[in-house]
Amino acid sequence: MSDPIIEVKNVSKSYGGVKANVDITMKVERGSITGIIGPNGCGKTTLFNSIVGYHPIDNGSISFDGDEISKLRVGDIARLGMLRTFQQTRIYGKMDCVDNMQISVSHRPDSKVSLFASRKGEIRERAEHLLEFVGLYSKRNLISGDLSFGQQKLLELAMALMNEPKALLLDEPTAGINPTLINGLIDRLRRANEELGITLCVIEHNMRVIMNLASHIYCLSNGQMLAEGKPADLQNDQRVIDAYLGGH
């Protein structure tokens, strides 16, 4: 039975004359890993930005966990339990990993972390536990700017997990990471989904990654929804193949 945690209905967004998203409708099932693919400039990041409240949309509605959120701002949506990561990591390069983790704690009312916010030891303990979860425990006291790009992406994932999101939107999590670390990252994303119960929505250019990771995939092209379905369906969809060939 369908139980969407994110529902996007007829959303459009233009930047001046550029129609970045046109009448987009999609949903992300609770507990799923859902993929978004499409050629460069087709509107994937714009869609993420609309969902997390980074900018107002022109038309349509977006709901998260039953609440209409299309008029809320980033902070309000984060407090409801939806977070995103970026193509370029946003860590504090001059601070060590544990400190990055500790300052990323938000104040969601129902968060176990914020409940104990006054107890620094518990936050530190959780930070170290999550650094272990992403495989960075041995690097916990290193300055984060000295980590490799792939390790910084793992740190960013761990920072997002500090806030116990219900849903996490990841913008090209494997871009710029070497193949060995990509496998580690995929494994961590799967575990975050299965063990921590976090719904994931992933923009990804690496077809091998997204076809393995996602149970359902949406494909955008020229700002419009071109196709959706199971990975195997999309892999054989001539419209998707043509969009990629035409887009590169």
Ligand X SMILES: Nc1ncnc2c1ncn2[C@@H]1O[C@H](COP(=O)(O)OP(=O)(O)OP(=O)(O)O)[C@@H](O)[C@H]1O
How far apart, in whole angstroms, are the C-alpha atoms of residue 22 and residue 58? 10
Of the candidate spans 33-41, 95-103, 148-156, 240-248, the one that interacts with ligand X by CB under 6 A turns out to be 33-41
Q: How far is the CB of 56 from ligand X (least distance, A)?
A: 13
**40 counts as binding ligand X under rule CB under 6 A:** yes
41 interacts with ligand X by CB under 6 A: yes
Give the Cα separation of 23 and 103 in Å (integer): 38
- 115 near ligand X, judged by CB under 6 A: no
Of the pair 133, 218, the CB lying nearest ligand X is at 218
Q: What are the distances in angstroms from CA 145 to CA 128, 152, 153, 156, 202? A: 18, 8, 11, 12, 25
Sort residue 51 into left (φ over 0), alpha (ψ -120 to 50) or beta. alpha
Selected from 35, 43, 53, 81, the binder of ligand X by CB under 6 A is 43
Q: With binding defined as CB under 6 A, does residue 15 bind ligand X?
A: yes
Considering only the stretches 14-22, 67-75, 109-117, 159-167, report the one whose residues sit in contact with ligand X under the rule CB under 6 A: 14-22
Site for ligand X in 45-74 (CB under 6 A): 45-46
- Smallest distance from ligand X to CB 74, Å: 15
In one letter, which amino acid is 36?
A: I
Rounded to the nearest whole angstrom, what is the least distance from the CB of residue 147 to ligand X in the complex?
23
Write down the least CB distance from residue 175 to ligand X, Å: 9
**What is the closest distance, in whole angstroms, from the C-beta atom of residue 125 to ligand X in the complex?**
37
Give DSSP secondary structure letters for 7-49: EEEEEEEEETTEEEEEEEEEEEETT-EEEEE-STTSSHHHHHH
Kindly tell me which residue out of 27, 44, 108, 140 binds ligand X, with binding defined by CB under 6 A.
Answer: 44
Produce one character per residue of 19-45: b if its CB has 16 or more CB atoms within 10 Å, e if not: bbbbebebbbbebbbbbbbbbeebbbb
Q: Which stretch binds ligand X (CB under 6 A): 38-46, 72-80, 91-99, 150-158?
A: 38-46
Say whether residue 20 binds ligand X (CB under 6 A): yes
Question: Does 38 interact with ligand X (rule: CB under 6 A)?
Answer: yes
Question: Counting contacts by CB under 6 A, is residue 42 touching ligand X?
Answer: yes
Expressed in percent and rounded to 5, the helix, strand and coil fractions of the chain are: 40, 25, 35
Contacts with ligand X by CB under 6 A: the residue count is: 11
Of the candidates 160, 139, 142, the residue with the CA atom closest to the CA atom of residue 202 = 160
Q: Compute the least distance from the CB of residue 213 to ligand X, in Å.
A: 17
The residues binding ligand X (CB under 6 A) are 15, 18, 20, 38, 40-46
